[in-house]
């Protein structure tokens, strides 16, 4: 299910990204020869093209058969639309442009008026930047739609009465399990979210509340790098183990555990968090353990054996159920600027995190499709799916604008060079730069995906 949600997001984002290039190409009378969702090495699932005023379709046709089909080669001014079979992206083939197609035969002919290389650099700029622009605007619109449809639901940070749990790296820096986050560099925490964690990791001084008293913790300069290197959470609210419901015929139901029971110990060892309980229970699969719990204020003990999967079959109450949440609703007019603000916050945070990529720990923490897919819910969740789609749209926009040959930013760099110097880079230079950029990007993608399994 996570994989399907990831494919849904990437398909949508790639389609609209390429549509941005297509729109500005058509606006400036530049031909778009092909527009494909997914890649089509050897053959395509489906192709469509308007020929002699009629739409023609081809299914499972090989690329060679299409290239040698006289009818299909008519009306070259009309775009060939298609769906490939390799779901790793898509492309928009613009006439007269050195891109991933590496169509040297076309580039060897004299420039035509309808080609990308024939229009002014001022027109080429929006043609190249169109995909990034669409992705960024798309992210802002999705964030606005999310706020309008679902609002902003969160638990105020002061409601986390059980405090927070901290990773070993954070504990070495001075945090203790049970501390409540108050502020980072003087700016108060209002809720626990991605932005809060980023502020915590990048802060110089964090104020916490411990046993009713406030303390300041000075963080080391390499705190963020250490957090990334250990691939662990930095801080998360403690979730007391209160049963929300029991699974039918599960070990928990069979021994009489009920919704509302508050679990506090295993074999006389006290645990403060559901996650601690889950870990210990998993380590004792099919072995009897004594669980201490409270029901209606009275202490009880019961013996239960986790099943072969290492669970006892209960769903814990979530943060909202235990601590209470608030929902801020947005009208249509309010959701637009709020979506823009949220999108800009996400972009700023991602750019801030990007600095870690240039460290050894940052490179080692690179993840591929598996890591991204794991960020989705295991069940189809529209609210979270759209939130992830918007975030990936931000990432796609930022990554594509980087000045690396093979990316939109690389093309923009060469166009800007031409505008400033009034000299166009040679075709040979552009071809070599494109090839080197593609080799680098493919190598990086392979490395990132291998990291998922190392």
The answer to whether residue 440 sits within a structural domain is: yes
37 & 97 share domain = yes
Task: Please tell me the number of Cα atoms within 13 Å of 132 on its side-chain side.
Answer: 20
When pLDDT is cut at 50, 70 and 90, the band that residue 228 belongs to is confident
Quick one: pLDDT at residue 101? 65
Quick one: pLDDT at residue 433? 83
When pLDDT is cut at 50, 70 and 90, the band that residue 450 belongs to is confident
Mean pLDDT, rounded, of the chain:
89
Digit-coded pLDDT (tens) for 276-325: 999 999 999 889 999 999 999 999 999 999 998 899 999 999 999 999 99
Which range in 20-34, 82-96, 374-388 is most confidently predicted, on average pLDDT?
Answer: 20-34
193 & 219 share domain = yes
**CATH code: domain of residue 220:** 2.30.42
Checking if the pLDDT of 362 tops 60, the result is no
342 & 438 share domain = yes
Return the structure tokens found at 389. 């789609």
The answer to whether residue 14 sits within a structural domain is: no
Quick one: pLDDT at residue 440? 82
189 & 269 share domain = no
Task: Please tell me the number of Cα atoms within 13 Å of 168 on its side-chain side.
Answer: 5
388 & 452 share domain = yes
The answer to whether residue 322 sits within a structural domain is: no
What is the extent of the structural domain holding 131? 122-151+335-454
Checking if the pLDDT of 449 tops 80, the result is no
Checking if the pLDDT of 4 tops 90, the result is no
**Ramachandran area for residue 317 (φ above 0: left; ψ -120 to 50: alpha; else beta):** beta
The answer to whether residue 132 sits within a structural domain is: yes
139 & 176 share domain = no
Say how many domains are in the chain.
4
412 & 443 share domain = yes
Quick one: pLDDT at residue 55? 95
Digit-coded pLDDT (tens) for 184-227: 999 999 999 888 888 998 899 999 999 889 999 999 988 888 88
451 & 399 share domain = yes
**Segments in 45-120 forming alpha helices (H):** 63-67, 104-107
pTM of the shown model: 0.82
**CATH code: domain of residue 259:** 2.30.42.10
Quick one: pLDDT at residue 355? 66
When pLDDT is cut at 50, 70 and 90, the band that residue 377 belongs to is confident
Helix (H, G, I), strand (E, B) or coil at 175: coil
Dihedral of CA atoms 203, 204, 208, 210 in degrees, nearest 10, equals: 140
Distance in angstroms between the alpha carbons of the first and the last residue of the chain: 23
What is the rounded distance in angstroms from the CA atom of residue 119 to the CA atom of residue 407?
20
What is the rounded distance in angstroms from the CA atom of residue 80 to the CA atom of residue 324?
54
340 & 454 share domain = yes
The answer to whether residue 24 sits within a structural domain is: no
- More reliable by pLDDT, 60 or 379: 60
What is the rounded distance in angstroms from the CA atom of residue 72 to the CA atom of residue 49?
8
- Tell me phi and psi for residue 362, to 5 degrees: -65, -45
Quick one: pLDDT at residue 356? 63
Quick one: pLDDT at residue 434? 82
Checking if the pLDDT of 96 tops 80, the result is yes
Domain finish residue from 183, 209, 237: 237
The answer to whether residue 325 sits within a structural domain is: no
Report, as an integer, the average pLDDT of 121-144.
Answer: 95
Quick one: pLDDT at residue 327? 92
Checking if the pLDDT of 357 tops 70, the result is no
Least-confidence region, from 95-109, 118-132, 149-163: 95-109
Checking if the pLDDT of 332 tops 60, the result is yes
The answer to whether residue 420 sits within a structural domain is: yes
196 & 258 share domain = no
Quick one: pLDDT at residue 380? 85
356 & 427 share domain = yes
Least-confidence region, from 41-45, 226-230, 289-293: 226-230
Which range in 96-110, 149-163, 229-243 is most confidently predicted, on average pLDDT?
Answer: 149-163
The answer to whether residue 221 sits within a structural domain is: yes
356 & 288 share domain = no
Domain finish residue from 287, 317, 347: 317
Domain finish residue from 219, 237, 255: 237
When pLDDT is cut at 50, 70 and 90, the band that residue 103 belongs to is low
């Amino acid at each position: 299910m996570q994989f399907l949600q990831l494919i849904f997001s990437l398909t949508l984002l790639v389609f609209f990204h390429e549509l941005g290039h297509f729109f500005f190409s058509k606006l400036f009378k530049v031909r778009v020869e092909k527009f494909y969702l997914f890649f089509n090495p050897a053959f395509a699932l489906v192709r469509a093209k308007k020929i002699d005023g009629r739409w023609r379709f081809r299914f499972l046709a090989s690329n060679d058969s299409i290239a040698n089909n006289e009818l299909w080669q008519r009306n070259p001014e009309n775009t060939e639309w298609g769906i490939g079979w390799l779901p790793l992206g898509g492309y928009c083939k613009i006439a007269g442009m050195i891109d991933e197609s590496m169509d040297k035969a076309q580039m060897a002919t004299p420039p035509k008026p309808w080609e990308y290389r024939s229009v002014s650099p001022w027109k080429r700029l929006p043609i190249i930047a169109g995909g990034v622009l669409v992705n960024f605007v798309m992210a802002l619109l999705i964030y606005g739609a999310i706020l309008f449809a679902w609002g902003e639901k969160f638990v105020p940070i002061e409601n986390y009465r059980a405090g927070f749990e901290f990773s070993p790296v954070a504990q070495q820096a001075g945090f203790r399990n049970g501390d409540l986050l108050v502020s980072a560099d003087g700016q108060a925490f209002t809720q626990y979210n991605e932005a809060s964690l980023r502020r915590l990791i990048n802060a110089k001084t964090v104020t916490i509340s411990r046993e009713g008293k406030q303390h300041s913790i000075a963080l080391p300069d390499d705190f963020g790098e250490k957090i990334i290197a250990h691939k662990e959470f930095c801080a998360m609210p403690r979730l007391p183990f209160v049963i929300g419901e029991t699974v039918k015929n599960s070990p928990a139901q069979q021994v009489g555990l009920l919704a509302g029971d508050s679990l506090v110990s295993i074999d006389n060892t006290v645990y403060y968090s559901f996650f601690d309980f889950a870990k210990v229970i998993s380590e004792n699969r099919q072995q009897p353990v004594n669980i201490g719990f409270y029901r209606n204020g009275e202490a009880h003990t019961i013996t239960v054996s986790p099943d072969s999967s290492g669970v006892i079959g209960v769903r814990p109450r979530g943060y909202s159920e235990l601590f209470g949440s608030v929902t801020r609703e947005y009208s249509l007019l309010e959701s637009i600027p709020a979506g823009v603000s949220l999108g800009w916050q996400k972009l700023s945070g991602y750019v801030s995190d990007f600095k870690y990529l240039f460290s050894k720990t940052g490179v080692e923490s690179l993840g591929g499709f598996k890591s991204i897919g794991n960020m989705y819910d295991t069940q189809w969740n529209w609210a979270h799916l759209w939130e992830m789609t918007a975030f990936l749209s931000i990432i796609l926009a930022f990554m594509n604008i980087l000045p690396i040959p093979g990316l939109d930013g690389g093309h923009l760099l060469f166009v800007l060079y031409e505008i400033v110097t009034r000299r166009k880079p040679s075709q040979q230079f552009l071809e070599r730069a494109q090839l080197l950029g593609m080799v680098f990007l493919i190598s990086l993608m392979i490395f990132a995906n291998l990291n998922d399994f190392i």
